[in-house]
Chain A
Amino acid sequence: MKKEMKKILAAALTCAMSIGLLAGCGGASDSGSGESADAPATEEASGQEEMDAADEQQAPEMSKESEAEDEGTIRVVTFLAGSDQWAPVYKEVINDYMAAHPGVTIVDESQPTSGTQDLFRTKVQSDVAAKTPPDLMLYYNGEESKMPLDSELFVDLKPYMDADPEWSANLKEGAMEAGRNEDGMQYCIPYIGYFEGMFYNKELFDQYGLEEPTSWENIEACIDVFVENDIVPFATSLMKPSYMVEQLILAQVGAEGQKDYFDNSWAPALAAMKDLYDKGAFPADCMTMTEDDIRVLFADGKAAMMINGSWTVSGLKDNENMRMITMPALPGGKGGSDVALSGFGSGWYMSKEAAERDDVTLHFLKYMTSPEVMTRMIAVGGSSAITCDAPEGASPLEISANDMLNTATKFVAACDSQVVREAWLNMTEPGIQYIATGQSSPEDILAQSRSLNEE
């Protein structure tokens, strides 16, 4: 189990370069996934110039085996649109599929996520409310899977996986867990993964002769020095402190305690936010900064540390002085470098209607989750394949992130995908602001969130 998680997480590292990670890719392309007659999807892949040698070898046999020609229209909704990193490859992959299957039309209704008004979520919410779900959708899992699950408009994918072992063999068990509920229903096939941790700028620590922030004492010691020298210790926005709060909770209560949602044992972690705020460890305008602002602040060397996720690695890796670690345990805390925060935040859902109609959508899903397509998706951002080690020429930041994942023995997903969204947001935005300014106690905020979580 541990080994398997390692593999997935090593895969997660690669996404440091590609800002994303796709499940089940780790060197699995040699297993002849396409040999099943059920996977016509991969046949056209041979036409792809960027295919690696292994795929080129198996491609000809596969095309022989695909028999029945699919016909039909598939409605697909994802958040791979606009300025999203994967959007161009995703589009290419779809076009290739349509070129190889002239009878199949893929209607891509992807919408960008984020921004002031989240079009993607609203689109999916409206489609589900109108009972016109897309045939295939890439949507969030964990707590957010409640919406598609409650609608009963989507199928359990487990039987399909069991029926086609060649295909499902490539789907990593550790990753698949993230798309399964308590009843063992595989409601989605997780696709894109992440990891989070503490970034720091080594140059600033060296410049002031400080120890690197590998222990809480070191962190405490550096704060005063940085504050005196007009360097922001933590580039953290209290408007969106979610990542920092996640790390502090983990540093305080460890992997097991993190599952006791909103327990009072979390209070010291929240109190640490107040402590840091009182010491001036956050930017002066931390109450109104956005994620974009704090990234610029940290990248400009005006802040020493930043708690963030794998998606920021590509923007920082060119700086030789950047490092990434798990936040050290708080005094008396149970966390530390043996725990890493990582997981899979979204996956593919297939609608009942599409499943009952014919196999066209299923074939396309198998294509999207095939090692070949994943390799192409992963290639976004420069790295061309998933390997267990950091690729040659990796930046110091990527190497440190890889070490972080290799040192860890326990891997946990972010809390915010496990609990009721309203409860989590109550605690972080704006709960932390009330705690930091002393207007509410951590226990009060936790009690509020507990009751929201239980509703």
Chain B
Amino acid sequence: MKSKKYFYLFLAPAAVFILTFLIYPLFRTIYYSFTSWKNFSPKQSFAGLANYDRLFHDPVILVAFRNTFIMMAGVFLFQVGVSLLLAILVSKTKKMFKFLRTVYFIPILISATAIGLMFRLIYGYEYGLLNLIILWFGGEKQVWINEKTSIFLVTIPIMWQYVGFYFVIFLTGMSKIPGEISESAKLDGITPFQEAVYITIPMIRDVITSVVILVISGCFKVFDMVYVITGGGPMNSSELLSTYMYSAAFRNYNGGYASAIAIVMVAFGVLLSTVTRRILEPKETY
């Protein structure tokens, strides 16, 4: 369909919201990133590239980038993988369908802060669950979260919590695959595995693209879980761009530096998701 008038008319309400409450603050953030803005004072003084200069010399930023990539890799492999697998399995299940859908969704209903606390209590040294199990088997207590393990240990609950989310999205996507396709495939003697690879996955390609974009943005936004479990430590080893930005803004009251981190974060995320979209999206869109 081609209609300039309707295209813009249909986009107008969304544009009003997004321009006012997202784009405008984003531009404010760009402005703040060039200022020295401390203590949320109403006055900012122009500081040129000072914040960016600090950022490029800050070793923690590199750690945060590394960690964001580790988290993304884990999330891609595990979260998307498991949720797709579960969606394919459950969509073929008549019995228990509703029950499983409900149960898989539960972790999303519970706030990240509570789940973070739960995992902190699992990893804990003195009273932690893992150490209780080790003691029960007669082993020695371990310090689970250290400089090397921290990012992996905080990735586990993040991967785990949102499997249900992508599961529901995949299931929704599969709902539009006409039942006849699957039935005729069965008549052709195709195995369930072949059906998944050659029919289901290509049919929900658009959904997968959306999910990939959501995963990338999700990894940039992950915040409370890490903040609750490790606070970004030990020695900034589990810091993400989001936690580091939050600390800069709301713990250190350095709005200028926090804005610079936010800008780098958004710029990098846009780059990454554009590239991914290029790769995933078929050339002929229509």
Contacts and interface: CB of A to CB of B under 8 A. Distances in A.
Direct A–B contact in the complex, CB atoms closer than 8 angstroms? yes
A439 B144 CA distance: 21
Interface residues of B, number: 35
Contacts of B233: 239, 287-288, 429-430, 433
A288 B227 CA distance: 11
Contact of B126 (A117, A128, A144, A302): A302
A287 B145 contact: yes
Contacts of B124: 285, 293
Nearest to B121: A293
Contacts of B120: 288, 290
B251 A425 contact: yes
A433 B39 contact: no
Given A425-B251, A429-B233, A455-B36, 17 more contacts: A116-B224, A146-B38, A147-B39, A147-B40, A147-B253, A238-B234, A285-B124, A285-B144, A287-B234, A288-B231, A293-B124, A420-B38, A421-B39, A430-B232, A430-B233, A430-B236, A455-B38
Given A239-B233, A285-B126, A430-B233, A128 B42 contact: yes
Given A116-B228, A118-B250, A293-B126, A288 B145 contact: yes
A131 interface: yes
B41 A150 contact: yes
Interface residues of A, number: 39
A437 B42 CA distance: 40
A153 B205 CA distance: 56
Interface string A140-168: 00001011001100000000000000000
Contacts of A293: 124, 126
A238 B41 CA distance: 30
Interface of B: 36, 38-43, 113, 120, 123-126, 141, 143-146, 150, 224, 227-236, 250-254
A256 to B, nearest CB: 27
Given A118-B250, A150-B41, A288 B126 contact: no
Contacts of B146: 287
Nearest to A440: B235
Nearest to B229: A288
B110 to A, nearest CB: 15
A422 interface: yes
Interface in A65-117: 115-117
Nearest to A425: B252
Contact of B234 (A129, A151, A430): A430
B141 A284 contact: yes
A283 B230 CA distance: 16
With a 10 A CB-CB cut-off, give which of B41, B124, B229, B232 has the most chain A CB atoms: B41
5 contacts: A150-B39, A289-B125, A425-B252, A426-B252, A439-B235
Given A116-B113, A116-B224, A116-B227, A285 B40 contact: no
